[in-house]
Amino acid sequence: MGKLMREEWLDLVEFLAGGMERVACLNDVIRQRRAPQKIVLSATLSKDVEELHLWNLFKPKLFSATATKAKDITSTVAMDHISGRLALPSSISHRLIVSDSKFHPLAVYQQIQRNKFNRTLIFVNEVSSSNRLAHVLKELSQGEFEVDYFTAQLFGKRRYKMLEKFNKNPNRVLICSDVLARGTDLNRVDCVINYNLPADDKLFVHRAGRTGRAGQEGYVISVGDKETKRLFVKMLKVTNLWGDTVEEQMEEYLFEKDLERYTKAIESLKTVVSTNTKTKNGSAAKRSGFEAKRRSRPNAKGEKPWLKKKTTSE
């Protein structure tokens, strides 16, 4: 009896407070439910309108943060080799450094030292390259900037601590594989360096997207030799990503002022490598990117038009 009176009293209080008017059944909620609003945010968003139907979007709209100067890619290339048209923010400047491959580590050091970048991200295609490059840059910098290398084998707290150091401390250089090319939030990366050239246009855009975020100024520097440069330039021009790229030829005399220290760094590296010439499992390091394609290029019929050889009519 007491329980029934208590329930009636609560019902009376709720009724007088107007609570009953706010009660809705499940059917009412379903009938009044509006379709959710879908918002996609990306620094390197693929803009293929042919794929929008897969998202079931109603009257989709595209907003660009740099609409006044956007480098919008309207490539006439067949779309079977990429997922969609690609675009780079106008705040990103791209420079291609061409030199003999034996001077590539020194070229990277000089670019970092000359431009006084606060945070630099360097992409390599194999773990052994990251180890060697990190050793040489540490020897050359002599404490001028801190160098770390990040690999896919780095897990848990070690991965978190390394990224935290890079995000919070100035004068940092982080050497990494393409595991960091997407899906990782890094604070204010001033420059992205392609120590090994990316194998395709999408990878180039994803790497470049680590800098120049939210309208901030960013720099992309790609390093290659005469052989790898030809295919890389062709790829960028075919996909209209070449844009305002500046190509710079670096001859040997430009390295003379740092050549003595560089030679000592290489000798130090040889000493370290000689003690551990094989990987732990005895297998060769995995290769990717242009260095892999130079040995065995796939039959890319229609997939990568910049790989096609020109045919001459007789």
pLDDT tens readout for residues 104-150: 999 999 999 999 999 999 999 888 888 899 999 999 998 899 999 88
Could you tell me if residue 313 is inside a domain?
A: no
Query: Measured between alpha carbons, how far is 52 from 40 in angstroms, rounded to an integer?
Result: 11
74-83, 234-243, 294-303: segment of lowest average pLDDT? 74-83
Comparing 294 with 160, the larger pLDDT belongs to 160
Q: Mean pLDDT, to the nearest integer, of 166-173?
A: 91
Could you tell me if residue 108 is inside a domain?
A: yes
Query: What residues make up the domain containing 171?
Result: 71-277+285-293
300 within 8 A of 307, measured Cβ to Cβ: yes
Q: pLDDT tens across 175-226, in order? A: 998 888 776 778 889 999 999 999 999 899 989 989 988 778 999 999 999 9
* Cβ atoms < 10 Å from Cβ of 119: 21
Domain count, the chain: 1
Could you tell me if residue 63 is inside a domain?
A: no
Exposed/middle/buried for residue 87 (C-beta within 10 Å: 0-12, 13-18, 19+) = buried
Could you tell me if residue 9 is inside a domain?
A: no
Could you tell me if residue 96 is inside a domain?
A: yes
Could you tell me if residue 101 is inside a domain?
A: yes
Could you tell me if residue 43 is inside a domain?
A: no
Q: pLDDT tens across 15-53, in order? A: 666 655 555 566 666 666 666 777 777 666 665 555 666
CATH number at residue 211: 3.40.50.300
When mean pLDDT is compared over 227-236, 273-282, 296-305, the highest value belongs to 227-236
Could you tell me if residue 300 is inside a domain?
A: no
Is-above-0.85 flag for pTM? no
